[in-house]
């Protein structure tokens, strides 16, 4: 539950992208699989730096079974995943942690047992559904929401989880989040996009298969699916859209709504939210209500005339939830539906999926073993030093920004100097000693894990202080981010390899790879979202009103710049990617600032390493999804449009007016 809250917030503080100037024609869309090869596109680096540097890779790129994309990130993740898979059968690993990982891995792959237990598992799921089917009125529905079975095996129309109090980030709080939507974005219920249509079809196919498997007729199943969608459409009208949630202004709208448990009696007079939380022993006066308008809407909809639609929503969700946990036939159908939705021909091999499931269910155990085997102290020390160098540069940069007042500069530097570097892996890990999968089948093991997580990751932490010595325990992933709630930069262990970092890289290549990532993440402390959190991670204004207004104006110029980019003839969404674009440009600028202090620095190596680290291809379906949902720009734009902002790039390659990579000085839009 904590992780889901952090994921929702930290998605605002992750990797970045950029665009290109209004007067420039759009670059060739090289991100689509085989596009470069099919078009026989061989540009000079002055025309398309990204494709020129990555030409051979783009021509020969392929997608692995079950994948919708490939690139530097995925190639590195493949290496990490291979190491993780090896641990699933490594008999030299001893102890309870290793047993848990390997037991769950074996249980997932045991199709004979999963097939044999299908009927028993269906009976269990049916028992969960019967509780919903038997609800006759709103009072009985309220009683259901108060039950432990609903919490553990059912579905809710209003969820809660563990978060961090943005008014005092030393403490956990209870986050009251909105109704889950099968289409993800409330905007899709007003005007269905092509991507939304794919999501809708996928959701309907999964629900139809599972409901029929559970004994509903096709007509009954379709009626449930339609009614569930009606409820989603009704509640979506009261919810923020994805674009609204990604706006810098959304931080305070979402995470500054502090309430007490008693307040829910007034805020939710019809939907019995207070009674539901009390019944689940969620006694806390540190609570945050993410969307007030949503709760108002839920109270309007919580009445007898909508009972059937609400019940249909719950039944569909419960049935769909279990599809991947059953027999082989169910799983193969789930794979087929996923392939169709994502435009791919092959699914991932079972052993890879099994390892992914173990990794997702037991991240701390997988990561702890991975760190011990694959990450050295020397790597940790070298990357930490690059962070220190980047922080020193940022201090210089902030002092020299002539549009910032002395008051804001002082606060910014105070925050900068308080940033905690978190590199590779934590020194503390979650304790799984009370969890055991012995004598359980796969279905039962996942149910047991859910109970474990509820206790250890919610109830045991509720009303306690955050242990800041514990940070991300899932480090066997290719990732890095800035955590505004702790004012810390996290360079996760999985990213320390491949095109981002290797011990044998030149210094210039390290700065172009992991260095630009570090510079990027540091900038999030001072962007339109990070600027709303102080040095202690509390949601608190520290910019002067005029400075923040100036910063927003500079960011708006960048948004306009991005809005004039076209991908496949459609305008780009500058609002969605603005924060990440600011960070990407700032990251490169930081590394160039460090480079300027080194005599005979090889800028060609630096720029090539940067371009190489963001190579990638994907299916068109995946691109369409990212254009609607991802706060990061497409790879080719993040390289070309970011690098053309810098005079060092123009000088290195002698760019001249008329070159597509050339950008006149007055047209450059870097915020910092």
Q: What is the DSSP string of 221-269?
A: HHHHHHHHHHHHHHHHTTS--HHHHHSTTHHHHHH--EE-GGGHHHH-S
Per the structure, the complete domain to which residue 167 belongs is given by 138-317+330-342
The C-alpha angle 505, 426, 466, rounded to 5 degrees, equals 140
Q: Are residues 533 and 575 in the same domain?
A: yes
Q: Is 458 part of any domain?
A: no
> 571 is written with which tokens?
């305008």
Q: Are residues 380 and 528 in the same domain?
A: yes
- The predicted pLDDT at position 163 comes to 95
When divided into structural domains, the chain yields a total of: 2
Average of per-residue pLDDT across 349-357: 96
- The predicted pLDDT at position 21 comes to 37
pLDDT digits (tens, 9 = 90+) for 166-191: 999 999 999 999 999 999 999 999 99
Residue owning tokens 């990212």? 626
- The predicted pLDDT at position 25 comes to 52
Rg (CA), the chain: 25
Q: Are residues 155 and 272 in the same domain?
A: yes
- The predicted pLDDT at position 667 comes to 86
Q: Are residues 247 and 380 in the same domain?
A: no
Q: Taking 80 as the threshold, does the pLDDT of residue 248 lie above it?
A: no
Q: Are residues 396 and 336 in the same domain?
A: no
Q: Are residues 486 and 614 in the same domain?
A: yes
Q: Is 454 part of any domain?
A: no
- The predicted pLDDT at position 5 comes to 44
Q: Are residues 384 and 295 in the same domain?
A: no
- The predicted pLDDT at position 629 comes to 84
pLDDT digits (tens, 9 = 90+) for 83-92: 999 999 999 9
pLDDT digits (tens, 9 = 90+) for 480-531: 999 999 999 999 999 999 999 999 999 999 999 999 999 999 999 988 788 8
Instruction: Kindly report the average pLDDT of the chain as a whole number.
Output: 92
Beta partners for residue 163, in sequence order: 173
Average of per-residue pLDDT across 609-629: 93
pLDDT digits (tens, 9 = 90+) for 259-308: 999 999 999 999 999 999 999 999 999 999 999 999 999 999 999 999 99
Q: Is 350 part of any domain?
A: no
- The predicted pLDDT at position 471 comes to 86
Q: Taking 90 as the threshold, does the pLDDT of residue 145 lie above it?
A: yes
pLDDT digits (tens, 9 = 90+) for 24-68: 457 899 999 999 999 999 999 999 999 999 999 999 999 988 889
Is residue 616 within 8 A of residue 630, CB to CB? The reply is: no
Q: Is 90 part of any domain?
A: no
Question: N- to C-terminal Cα distance for the chain?
Answer: 36
Q: Are residues 156 and 270 in the same domain?
A: yes
Q: What is the domain-level CATH number for residue 169? A: 1.10.1380.10
User: Residue 4 — φ and ψ, nearest 5°?
Assistant: -65, -35
Q: Are residues 56 and 153 in the same domain?
A: no
pLDDT digits (tens, 9 = 90+) for 369-404: 999 889 999 999 999 999 999 999 999 999 999 999
Global pTM reads: 0.84
Q: Is 129 part of any domain?
A: no
């Amino acid at each position: 539950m904590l992780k889901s809250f952090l994921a929702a917030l930290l998605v605002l503080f992750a990797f970045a992208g950029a665009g290109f100037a209004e007067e420039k024609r759009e670059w060739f869309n090289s991100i689509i699989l085989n596009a470069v090869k099919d078009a026989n596109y061989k540009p000079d680096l002055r025309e398309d730096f990204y494709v020129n540097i990555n030409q051979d890779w783009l021509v020969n790129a392929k997608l692995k079974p079950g994948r919708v994309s490939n690139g530097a990130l995925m190639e590195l993740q493949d290496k990490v995943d291979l190491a993780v898979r090896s641990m699933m059968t490594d008999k030299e690993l001893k102890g309870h942690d290793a047993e848990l990982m390997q037991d769950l891995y074996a249980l997932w792959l045991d199709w004979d047992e999963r097939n044999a237990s299908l009927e028993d598992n269906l009976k269990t799921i049916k028992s969960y559904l019967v509780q919903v089917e038997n609800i006759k009125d709103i009072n009985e529905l309220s009683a259901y929401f108060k039950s432990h079975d609903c919490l553990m095996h059912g579905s809710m129309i209003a969820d809660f989880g563990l978060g961090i109090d943005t008014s005092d980030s030393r403490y956990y709080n209870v986050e009251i989040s909105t109704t889950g939507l099968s289409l993800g974005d409330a905007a899709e219920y007003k005007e269905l996009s092509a991507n939304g249509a794919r999501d809708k079809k996928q959701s309907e196919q999964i629900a139809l298969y599972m409901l029929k498997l559970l004994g509903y007729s096709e007509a009954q199943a379709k009626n449930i699916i339609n009614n569930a969608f009606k409820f989603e459409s009704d509640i979506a009208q009261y919810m923020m859209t994805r674009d609204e949630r990604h706006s810098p202004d959304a931080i305070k709208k979402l995470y500054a709504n502090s309430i007490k448990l008693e307040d829910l009696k007034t805020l939710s007079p019809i939907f019995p939210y207070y009674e539901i939380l009390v019944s689940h022993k969620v006694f806390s006066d540190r609570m945050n209500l993410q969307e007030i308008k949503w709760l108002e809407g839920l109270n309007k909809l919580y009445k007898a005339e909508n009972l059937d639609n609400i019940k249909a929503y719950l039944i569909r969700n419960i049935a769909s939830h279990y599809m991947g946990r059953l027999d082989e036939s169910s799983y193969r159908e789930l794979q087929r539906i996923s392939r169709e939705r994502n435009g791919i021909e092959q699914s991932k091999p079972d052993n890879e999926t099994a390892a992914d499931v173990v990794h997702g269910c037991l991240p701390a155990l997988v990561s702890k073993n991975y760190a011990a085997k694959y990450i050295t102290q020397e790597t940790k020390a070298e990357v930490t030093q690059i962070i220190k160098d980047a922080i020193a540069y940022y201090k210089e940069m902030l002092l020299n920004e002539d549009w910032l007042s002395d008051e804001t500069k002082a606060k910014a530097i105070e925050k900068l100097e308080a940033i905690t570097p978190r590199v590779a892996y934590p020194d503390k890990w979650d304790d799984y000693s009370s969890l055991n999968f012995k004598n359980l089948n796969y279905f039962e093991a996942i149910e047991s894990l859910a109970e474990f997580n509820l206790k250890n990751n919610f109830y045991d932490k509720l009303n306690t202080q955050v242990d800041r010595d514990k940070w991300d325990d899932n480090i066997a992933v290719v990732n890095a981010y800035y955590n505004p709630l702790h004012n810390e930069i996290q360079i996760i262990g999985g990213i320390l390899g491949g095109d981002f970092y290797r011990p044998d890289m030149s210094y210039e290549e390290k700065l172009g790879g992991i260095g630009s990532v570090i510079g990027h993440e540091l900038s999030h402390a001072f962007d339109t979202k990070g600027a709303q959190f102080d040095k202690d991670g509390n949601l608190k204004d520290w910019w002067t009103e005029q400075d923040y207004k100036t910063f927003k104006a500079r960011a708006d110029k960048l948004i306009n710049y991005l809005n004039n980019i076209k991908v496949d003839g459609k305008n780009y969404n500058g609002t969605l990617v603005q924060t990440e674009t600011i960070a990407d440009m700032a990251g490169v600028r930081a590394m160039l600032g460090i480079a300027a202090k080194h005599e005979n620095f090889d800028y060609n190596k630096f720029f090539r390493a940067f371009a190489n680290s963001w190579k990638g291809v994907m299916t068109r379906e995946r691109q369409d999804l990212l254009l609607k949902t991802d706060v990061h720009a497409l790879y080719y734009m993040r390289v070309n449009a970011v690098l053309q902002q810098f005079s060092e790039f123009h000088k290195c390659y002698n760019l001249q007016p008329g070159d597509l990579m050339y950008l006149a000085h007055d047209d450059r839009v870097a915020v910092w």
